[in-house]
């Protein structure tokens, strides 16, 4: 096992990884920007290294600084968390070539799944259902129109290098296609320095359901059930839960085995997530694969009892998974609310000093945060300040527990999304489980 790990991240996920290391008897190295000198991940790590000025590009994305920090502290491995360098295949390659273990999949797997058009083909070859669409990227407007006509409108044009919604255009009919196609290409080029786009049939009111998988280096790959992530706004997830109300045991097994087959076909290792879209008939289609630990991993941990970050570290060290498929049982129900420091009307970040901070507690309540009273939220990074996660026997009980915990959560000095979460949890449609990615449009017309 590793003796020392460097955590190339900040905030709650850095803290989450430090906690796993401590329980495994592994020493930790935090890296931080000058803006984060007083943050908890620095305080709780055994050692810390300042890697640059506030801007992410100069610090948390600064590869030479991070590699140097690992070298001078003798860290044997780097955990990238999520965001920043987590899905950067050249960073993974540089780690491995300097003899530092990247805690994640191989650079080849990251590259293969990072190209969403290629990932679609890979999944299809592995036997996964995909929506009618183009075979790979489409460059010519004239052939794009023909493909769209053949698929049938509505269609969606997506950036091959995308994922978060950038470089994406929904096209309802042929008259607006040519313009939207060029717009998607232009936006893709501006955002990713890559104009490649592909086309898919557009599902009008899909659910976003994803399967967590975990793979070791001995070829063991297991699925840990699904997460329902349909409650989102502007391509940011707001609430995630496990299990999904519409996934029963048979479907879970089917989707799980499908996810494992896709992972196996790219010789995947470490933690990964296969995202599916589900239409109103309950048919599911491969959408993308995320080659990292995700923000919402705790809901899977709550219903399986498995520490996913510890497993990531184990398998990166060459050890086998500590469990097999038949050990996985989904127990109870878990919900996560992402609490952001943002203006509830304008959705703009609300940086500043947290003047009072009282996280909730009690049975079945878990809070993942790096915030504290007098903590100053820097304006340079994303606005998530806490994940509130609950676990209970049933979905109804989990909803009641979440409402109780949200009402107990005191955060003063900055505006937060707590009131929005309370509204969603009080919503009869949410409570009935009748949700889709269009859910938030009822509250907010600009949610698209
Ligand atoms: C889709 C889709 C419907 N049909 N693909 C959103 C994020 C990115 N990962 C893919 N996304 C979607 N892909 C097909 N074939 C619906 C979404 C989607 C969405 C699309 C446009 C505007 C807002 C959206 C919100 C959630 C999901």
Cα distance between residue 322 and residue 302, in whole Å? 17
Secondary structure letter of residue 421 according to DSSP: H
Instruction: Supply the residue whose CA is at minimum distance from atom 9 of ligand 1.
Output: 163
| Strand order across the 169-171 sheet | 169-171, 155-159, 197-201
Distance of alpha carbon 429 from its chain centroid, rounded? 25
Q: Which of 188, 200, 235, 436 to mutate to test the pocket of ligand 1 (most atoms within 8 A of CB)?
A: 235
Choice among 169, 207, 292, 338 that is catalytic: 292
- At 31, is the pLDDT very low, low, confident or very high (cuts 50, 70, 90)? very high
CB within 8 Å of 19: residues ≥ 6 apart: 309
State yes or no: is 101 an active-site residue: no
Residue 185's pLDDT is 97
φ, ψ (nearest 5 deg) of residue 378: -75, 150
Report whether pLDDT(447) > 70: no
Average pLDDT of the residues in 195-220:
97
Cα distance between residue 350 and residue 291, in whole Å? 30
Which residue in the block uniquely carries the two structure tokens 């060029």? 182
Cα distance between residue 195 and residue 24, in whole Å? 44
Tens-place pLDDT, residues 50-76: 999 999 999 999 999 999 999 999 999
Report whether pLDDT(448) > 70: no
pTM attached to this predicted model: 0.97
Tens-place pLDDT, residues 17-29: 999 999 999 999 9
Cα distance between residue 381 and residue 55, in whole Å? 8
Instruction: Supply the residue whose CA is at minimum distance from atom 7 of ligand 1.
Output: 165
Tens-place pLDDT, residues 321-373: 999 999 999 999 999 999 999 987 788 888 899 999 999 999 999 999 999 99
Report whether pLDDT(183) > 60: yes
The three-class DSSP label of residue 419 is: helix
Residue 346's pLDDT is 83
- At 444, is the pLDDT very low, low, confident or very high (cuts 50, 70, 90)? confident
Instruction: Supply the residue whose CA is at minimum distance from atom 26 of ligand 1.
Output: 437
- At 206, is the pLDDT very low, low, confident or very high (cuts 50, 70, 90)? very high
């Amino acid at each position: 096992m590793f003796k020392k790990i460097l955590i190339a991240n900040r905030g709650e996920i850095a803290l989450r990884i430090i906690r796993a290391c401590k329980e495994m008897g592994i020493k930790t190295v935090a890296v931080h920007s000058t803006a984060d000198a007083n943050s908890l991940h620095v305080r709780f790590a055994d050692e810390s290294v300042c890697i640059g000025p506030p801007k992410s590009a100069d610090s948390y994305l600064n590869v030479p600084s991070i590699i140097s920090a690992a070298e001078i502290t003798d860290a044997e491995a780097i955990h990238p968390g999520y965001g920043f360098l987590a899905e950067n295949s050249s960073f993974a390659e540089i780690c491995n070539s300097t003899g530092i273990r990247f805690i994640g999949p191989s650079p080849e797997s990251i590259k293969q799944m990072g190209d969403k058009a290629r990932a679609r083909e890979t999944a299809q070859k592995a036997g996964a259902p995909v929506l009618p669409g183009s075979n790979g990227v489409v460059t010519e407007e004239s052939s794009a129109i023909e493909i769209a006509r053949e698929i049938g409108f509505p269609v969606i044009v997506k950036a091959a290098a995308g994922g978060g919604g950038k470089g994406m255009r929904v096209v309802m009919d042929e008259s607006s296609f040519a313009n939207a196609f060029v717009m998607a290409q232009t936006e893709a080029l501006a955002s990713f320095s890559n104009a490649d786009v592909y086309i898919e049939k557009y599902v009008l009111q899909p659910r976003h359901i994803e399967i967590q998988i975990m793979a070791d280096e001995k070829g063991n790959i297991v699925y840990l059930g699904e997460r329902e992530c349909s409650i989102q706004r502007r391509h940011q997830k707001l609430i995630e839960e496990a299990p999904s109300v519409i996934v029963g045991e048979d479907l879970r097994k089917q989707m799980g085995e499908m996810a494992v087959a896709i992972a196996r076909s790219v010789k995947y290792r470490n933690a990964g997530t296969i995202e599916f879209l589900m239409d109103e008939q309950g048919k599911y289609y491969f959408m993308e694969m995320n080659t990292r630990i995700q923000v919402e991993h705790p809901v899977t941990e709550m219903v399986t009892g498995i520490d996913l970050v510890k497993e990531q570290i184990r398998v990166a060290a060459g050890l086998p998974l500590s469990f097999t498929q038949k050990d996985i049982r989904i127990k109870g129900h878990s919900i996560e609310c992402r609490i952001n420091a943002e203006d509830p009307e304008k959705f703009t970040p609300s940086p500043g000093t947290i003047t009072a901070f009282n996280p909730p507690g009690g049975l079945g309540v878990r809070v993942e945060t790096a915030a504290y009273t007098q903590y100053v939220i820097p304006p340079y990074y994303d606005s998530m300040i806490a994940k509130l996660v609950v676990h209970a026997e049933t979905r109804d009980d989990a909803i009641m527990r979440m409402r109780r915990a949200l009402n107990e959560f005191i955060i003063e000095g900055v505006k937060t999304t707590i009131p929005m979460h309370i509204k969603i949890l009080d919503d009869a449609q949410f409570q009935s489980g009748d949700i889709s990615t269009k859910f938030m449009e009822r509250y907010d017309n600009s949610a698209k």
